[in-house]
Amino acid sequence: MAKEMEIGEITHYYGKIGVGVVKLSAELKVGDRIHILGHTTDFEQTVDSMQIEHERVEKAKKGESIGLKVAEHVREGDKVYKIIE
């Protein structure tokens, strides 16, 4: 059974481009599996690309806000968890 660790929260969602802004409380890297959970949100995905200030990055640190391409609609306040195999 995989464990999950909360690593951030959705602070904004850009519907036209399918990107959620995540305020990180822990490190996140491209290739990590994440679980996004909220009142009406519940899905898992692999982090394929993320950006800071419109620049592609491979990893982001605690305290940074990143733009994350998401597979489904997310909402402000949704929690982001890293899946630890």
What's the pLDDT score for residue 47? Answer: 97
pLDDT single digits (tens) 75-85: 999 999 999 98
**CATH number of the domain to which 53 belongs:** 2.40.30.10
Write out pLDDT tens, residues 17-69.
Answer: 999 999 999 999 999 999 999 999 999 999 999 999 999 999 999 999 999 99
Whether 27 and 60 have beta carbons less than 8 Å apart is answered as yes
Q: Where are the beta strands (DSSP E) in the chain?
A: 3-14, 19-24, 28-29, 33-37, 42-46, 50-52, 55-57, 59-60, 65-69, 79-84
pTM for this entry: 0.95
Domain count, the chain: 1
The domain of 79 spans 3-84
